[in-house]
Structure 1
Amino acid sequence: MSNFSFPEFDDLPVVKGQPKGCLWGIFDVDGQKDQLGTLRLLTKEVVQKAKDEIRTGTHVQLDWPLHNIEFPGFGRIPLQHTVKDLAEEGFVAFDDVISFNTQTSSQWDSLKHFGSQKTAVYYNGWTHDQLKTSNDLGIHKICDRGGIVGRGILVDWLSWWEHKNPGIEPPSAISCHKIPVSELEATLAYQGTETRQGDILIVRSGFVRWHNNAKADIRALGTEKQHYMIGLENNDETVRWLYSKHFSAVAGDTMGFEAWPYPEDCCLHEWLLVQWGTPIGELWDLEALAEECKAHNRWSFFLASAPLRVVGGCASPPNAIAIL
């Protein structure tokens, strides 16, 4: 099947205890509770069609160096990397020992990462207590299905904004600047990019560029000592727009994809991860990709991503490559 048929947002069946718009049960197969969510939109037919995006062979990796973010917040530890000399073992060789929090650099959030903050439930009804002792919803479920492969689209909001506002400093990447649906649509129109069911949406807002250019004390102030981040506007219009597009996954170059902190009445993490089972990519390095897209005058590409196969993992570096 190349396309799923979805009801309109307001016509979705009611799921007890959940807000209107919940997709729990939609992707269940043979009575088994689904653990993949909207990744099921990446059917063989969708992936096969995505190969047509490969036209020049140009390819860009989208993972930021693991030592970024240099000064992580929320009590998370930065990368710890030790090189072990194997001379003592009789070899002319080296090994690596690496320890890091998967939220401190480029990542996919698995469906196990974030639950409903009020009800302590996760996608398809798993509870917080259940997931304490279960591998369900872990990142390995993505690996078991063969990773994430399909058509990616870059919504280069930052370039659009700078084109529309020449000579003006763009909104701060470390402010709670909310990018509205109207500007996402304007960016798509400016690029001439059309969306399809199953696309992997990637939004460039300028956070990685800010971090790359800022001095260390400013980076520390912006990422460790305060938690305000640019991102998609957290409101009903954005929720309905995302639903109407039926993306398989979403990603961006900012810390939370959505503007942070989120308002009490709308958290996109809860809609994407909890209600729909849509993986969220964060802190992706989109700088080289943005330049290649401009050079090719095309913002769609073939995307392949192979997360780390950590059973029960909450997140993973994306190991993502865009091929134009």
Structure 2
Amino acid sequence: MVTHAHRAQPPRLTEDEFGVLYRRLRSRSAWAAGDRGALAVLTPAVVLAAAGEVRTGRTVTLAAPVDTLPGPDNPEPARHRMRGRPEEEPSSGLHFAMDSFSMNVHGDADSHLDALCHVIYEGTLHGGVPMSSVTADGATALSVEEVRDGIVGRGVLLDIPRLRGVPWLEPGDHVSANDLAAAETAQNLRVGQGDLLFVRVGHRRRRAELGPWHAARERAGLHPSALEFLADRKVCVLGGDGNNDTAPSSTEGVDFPVHVLAVHAMGLHLLDYLQFEDLAPVCEAQARWSFLCVVAPLRLPAATGSPVNPIAVL
């Protein structure tokens, strides 16, 4: 592991600089302008090749347990309510234990997928779809229903705290394109076209050891310029154990620049608030950081996202 002390942070972007970056990434991602965005590259041949990543048959979750307790990062927790509890029923005959569940999908605690209709920027959705397609009844275009058949491909985990020799990145820290390239080298792999790229910043480990904090105000994530690395490699999904965006924002006038660039400009489905604390030790032990990954969102027609439990198959 390489320790990086007193690291210089990537520069803040002005609105004009962000606009130049946005237009460049949108132009480079024109091939991903359809309803499935960058998932267009996940052809049957690519999925079949990804199946070759399975060596041991071990499966590992990339999701955190659904959080039903309020906290500074979870003011509107998921609600799980039991219905028809056994003690309410007679002891003889057949009965069923039942429950109901509700969630704020795009919160700062639970693992979820962002559909391509989630980000509205300058009056449009990804691919120039008008924002009027998102109505009071839901999204009529680019919803999570576009991925009803699941997302299956080669997953790659780049572990940035491992690279830097720290347990986690502190809130406000940025992952640069150079970090991603250095993690590739340190982990002896190369991110390629059609990969599902997962970037660990250690958010979940910090939360587990120090307790939750106001992650909407302070969190580690990618610097917007790091999206150039993703465009170079033509990845089709970006996932992180935080929000993928750093807070406070590194971009003048744009609170979630990575979301704008990834979802709106590049057509990437995002996976936010995953957890890699189960996966990283397995990858370390096997000295292998790539795997078959299966992502199966709920079928929620017209929804902007879905709770999700991605599975790595090693």
TM-score normalised over the length of structure 2: 0.83
Q: Tell me which residue corresponds to 2:12.
A: none
Q: Tell me which residue corresponds to 1:213.
A: 209
Amino acid at match of 1:77: E
1:1-324 equivalences under 5 Å are: 19-22=23-26, 26-27=31-32, 34-67=34-67, 70-71=70-71, 73=73, 77-85=76-84, 91-104=94-107, 105-116=110-121, 119-132=122-135, 134-143=139-148, 146-162=149-165, 170-172=168-170, 175-215=171-211, 219=212, 221-223=213-215, 227-235=217-225, 238-254=226-242, 256-262=243-249, 263-264=251-252, 267-324=257-314
8 Å contact kept, 1:108–1:316: yes
8 Å contact kept, 1:231–1:259: yes
Q: Tell me which residue corresponds to 2:10.
A: none
Shift of 1:288: 0.8
Cα separation, partners in 2 of 1:303 and 1:210, compared to 1, 3 Å: same
Aligned with 2:133: secondary structure? Answer: helix
Shift of 1:265: 6.8
Distance (whole Å) between structure 1 residues aligned to residue 144 and residue 72 of structure 2? 22
Distance (whole Å) between structure 2 residues aligned to residue 190 and residue 297 of structure 1? 11
Distance (whole Å) between structure 1 residues aligned to residue 191 and residue 162 of structure 2? 19
Amino acid at match of 1:234: P
Cα separation, partners in 2 of 1:192 and 1:25, compared to 1, 3 Å: closer
Report Cα offsets for 1:228-270 as digits up to 9, x if no partner: 11011123xx23222111001010101x212123212771211
Amino acid at match of 1:252: G
Amino acid at match of 1:138: S
Distance (whole Å) between structure 1 residues aligned to residue 151 and residue 69 of structure 2? 24
Distance (whole Å) between structure 2 residues aligned to residue 69 and residue 305 of structure 1? 25
Distance (whole Å) between structure 2 residues aligned to residue 151 and residue 201 of structure 1? 9
Amino acid at match of 2:276: L
Amino acid at match of 1:38: A
Shift of 1:292: 0.4
Shift of 1:70: 4.7
Structure 1 stretches of 4+ with a deviation exceeding 6 A read: none
Amino acid at match of 1:108: L
8 Å contact kept, 2:60–2:279: yes
Provide structure 1 residue ranges, at least 5 long, that are not aligned to the other structure: 1-17, 29-33
Aligned with 1:185: secondary structure? Answer: helix
Percent sequence identity over aligned pairs = 27
Cα separation, partners in 2 of 1:39 and 1:297, compared to 1, 3 Å: same
8 Å contact kept, 1:83–1:95: yes
8 Å contact kept, 1:178–1:234: no
Shift of 1:303: 0.2
Report Cα offsets for 1:144-189 as digits up to 9, x if no partner: xx11000000001112211xx6xxx7531xx211111111111110
8 Å contact kept, 1:72–1:78: no
Root-mean-square deviation over aligned CA pairs: 2.2
8 Å contact kept, 2:72–2:214: no
Distance (whole Å) between structure 2 residues aligned to residue 63 and residue 21 of structure 1? 29
Amino acid at match of 1:209: R
Amino acid at match of 1:114: V
Cα separation, partners in 2 of 1:299 and 1:70, compared to 1, 3 Å: farther
Shift of 1:137: 0.9
Shift of 1:48: 0.4
Shift of 1:128: 2.2
Amino acid at match of 2:214: G
Distance (whole Å) between structure 2 residues aligned to residue 245 and residue 26 of structure 1? 13
8 Å contact kept, 2:151–2:295: yes
Distance (whole Å) between structure 1 residues aligned to residue 127 and residue 89 of structure 2? 50
Alignment size in residue pairs: 281
Provide structure 2 residue ranges, at least 5 long, that are not aligned to the other structure: 1-21
Shift of 1:192: 0.1
Shift of 1:79: 1.0
Distance (whole Å) between structure 2 residues aligned to residue 188 and residue 201 of structure 1? 11
